[in-house]
């Protein structure tokens, strides 16, 4: 039995379901901690290391669980894995809301980490790949466009609830959202991958680079996988660190807190704007070309921050370029593996790539704080630029390796 692409209406239904559940999952499992964390610290008296170390535990656990989640999706489809991820997310948040000791608290975050592996972007991308076939790139772009609004929805909603409820009750509300909204949508509204008794129907278009790779390669190219994992890990280190320390870094460079916050406001719109531009005009750019563009923007952004006199305009321009890079790398991490590896192992590949990336993301905020103290603002900016160069260089090497192997890199996935 072979998989065939689902009809447009089925893909549209999957996008509608996943668009809702991704916003809810990111908001509950990832973004809520930025506002709930200080309340936890205030009530419990725990150190920042313990309070926010729980989130690092979740990221590490997610990285360990990601390859298994991917293999399960490859074997059984996305519906059961995403449903289980939502239910585990509800359980983890409920456990977190009832925690009073450090051991219970950290164990709750470990459960949330497993939920992340089954409920965030990677399992959603793998599910879309099974449904959309050659339209996967467009489907992923549309999903990340919706997911870009997760913090826009989550932070105001969470802040509004914290003004009326205890932080424990807020977490229980988030848990209810995972159990009563996301899990039923995944279980009952998310389409399953179609199957046919024969070969998939021929396409009038030439097959995309991902499809050609699927027919050529049964095993994994570990060199290519390692290079792209390095790309995602290096880029992810920077973005994870700046999600916590951007305001402080800009302050150390000579900007006021108000200027830094103004600049930070532009990151989210830049992410969404870059994804929209990719959706509208990126059809001529190959998957690997998209990865090169996304990574090349990162060192350019930090070169601007390093070389220019600090000002609000410079900080905003940095935020726009940095945000665009972050927005495009999310799409690239979904579509580049399709261009390099067998489609029937796509979920496993995403999990293998996610594991080192989540490990570096979990360590980034702590290490970045050490770097800022030891190296100062300019040294830390230079480090970020160097990591951006490393990511872009690894993408270029990846392209060269594939060209030497005889792979066609130019065709994008069908729009």
Q: Judge whether 410 lies within some domain.
A: no
Q: Are residues 238 and 311 in the same domain?
A: yes
The band of 3, judged by pLDDT with boundaries at 50, 70 and 90, is low
Q: Judge whether 172 lies within some domain.
A: yes
Q: Are residues 179 and 250 in the same domain?
A: no
Q: How far apart are CA 266 and CA 327, in angstroms?
A: 12
pLDDT tens, residue by residue, 181-225:
999 999 999 988 766 444 444 333 333 444 444 433 446 788 899
When mean pLDDT is compared across 152-166, 253-267, 282-296, the lowest value belongs to 253-267
Q: Judge whether 413 lies within some domain.
A: no
Q: Are residues 180 and 246 in the same domain?
A: no
- The counts of H helices and E strands in the chain are 17, 2
| Count of the separate structural domains present in the chain | 2
Q: Are residues 155 and 30 in the same domain?
A: yes
Residue ranges making up the domain that contains 66: 2-195
Q: Are residues 190 and 235 in the same domain?
A: no
CA dihedral 139, 144, 145, 149 (to 10 degrees): 150
Q: How far apart are CA 131 and CA 7, in angstroms?
A: 8
Please, are residues 386 and 371 in contact by the beta-carbon 8 Å criterion? no
From 162, 195, 228, the end of a domain falls on 195
**What does DSSP assign to residue 285?**
S
Q: Are residues 215 and 166 in the same domain?
A: no
Q: Specify the pLDDT at position 105.
A: 96
266 vs 230, residue with greater confidence? 230
Task: Indicate which CATH number applies to the domain containing 398.
Answer: 1.20.1250.20
The band of 302, judged by pLDDT with boundaries at 50, 70 and 90, is very high
Q: Are residues 181 and 260 in the same domain?
A: no
Q: Are residues 385 and 248 in the same domain?
A: yes
What percent of the chain stands above pLDDT 90?
A: 55
Q: Judge whether 399 lies within some domain.
A: yes
Q: Are residues 174 and 223 in the same domain?
A: no
Q: Specify the pLDDT at position 276.
A: 92
From 156, 172, 195, the end of a domain falls on 195
Nearest to 96 by CA among 113, 121, 81, 84: 113
From 140, 162, 195, the end of a domain falls on 195
Contacts of 182 (CB under 8 A, 6+ apart): 20, 21, 24, 25, 86, 89, 119
Q: Are residues 117 and 265 in the same domain?
A: no
Q: Judge whether 58 lies within some domain.
A: yes
Q: Judge whether 105 lies within some domain.
A: yes
Nearest to 117 by CA among 197, 43, 51, 58: 58
pLDDT tens, residue by residue, 330-344:
999 999 998 888 778
Q: Specify the pLDDT at position 406.
A: 57
Q: Judge whether 200 lies within some domain.
A: no
Q: Are residues 250 and 394 in the same domain?
A: yes
Q: Judge whether 202 lies within some domain.
A: no
Average pLDDT value over all residues in the chain:
86
pTM over 0.85: no
Q: Are residues 169 and 239 in the same domain?
A: no
């Amino acid at each position: 039995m072979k998989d065939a692409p689902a009809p447009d209406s089925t893909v549209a239904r999957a996008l509608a379901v996943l668009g809702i559940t991704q916003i809810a999952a990111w908001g509950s499992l990832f973004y809520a901690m930025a506002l709930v964390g200080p309340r936890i610290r205030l009530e419990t008296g725990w150190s920042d290391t313990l309070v926010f170390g729980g989130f690092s535990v979740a990221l590490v656990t997610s990285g360990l669980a990601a390859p298994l989640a991917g293999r399960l999706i490859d074997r059984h489809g996305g519906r059961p894995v995403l449903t289980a991820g939502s239910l585990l997310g509800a359980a983890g948040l409920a456990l977190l809301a009832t925690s009073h000791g450090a051991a219970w608290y950290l164990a709750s975050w470990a459960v949330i980490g497993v939920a992340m592996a089954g409920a965030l972007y990677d399992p959603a991308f793998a599910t879309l790949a099974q449904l959309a076939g050659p339209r996967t790139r467009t489907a992923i772009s549309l999903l990340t466009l919706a997911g870009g609004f997760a913090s826009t929805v989550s932070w105001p909603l969470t802040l509004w609830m914290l003004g009326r409820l205890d932080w424990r009750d807020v977490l229980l509300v988030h848990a209810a959202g995972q159990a009563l909204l996301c899990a039923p949508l995944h279980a009952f509204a998310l389409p399953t991958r179609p199957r046919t008794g024969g070969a998939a129907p021929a396409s009038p278009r030439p097959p995309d680079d991902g499809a050609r790779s699927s027919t050529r390669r049964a095993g994994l190219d570990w060199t290519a996988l390692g290079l792209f994992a390095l790309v995602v890990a290096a880029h992810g280190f920077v973005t994870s660190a700046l999600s916590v320390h951007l305001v402080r870094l800009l302050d150390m460079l000579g900007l006021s807190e108000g200027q830094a916050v103004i600049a930070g406001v532009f990151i989210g719109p830049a992410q969404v704007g870059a994804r929209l531009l990719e959706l509208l005009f990126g059809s001529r750019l190959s998957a690997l070309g998209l990865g090169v563009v996304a990574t090349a923007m990162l060192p350019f952004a930090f070169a601007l921050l390093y070389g220019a006199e600090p000002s609000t305009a410079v900080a905003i321009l940095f935020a726009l370029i940095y945000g665009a890079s972050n927005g495009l790398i999310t799409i690239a991490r979904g579509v580049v593996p399709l261009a390099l590896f067998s489609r029937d192992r796509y979920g496993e590949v995403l999990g293998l790539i996610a594991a080192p990336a989540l490990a570096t993301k979990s360590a980034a905020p702590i290490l970045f704080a050490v770097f800022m103290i030891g190296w100062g603002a300019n040294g830390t900016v230079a480090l970020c630029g160097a990591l951006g160069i490393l990511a872009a260089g690894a993408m270029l090497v990846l392209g060269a390796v594939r060209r030497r192997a005889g792979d066609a890199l130019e065709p994008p996935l069908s729009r």
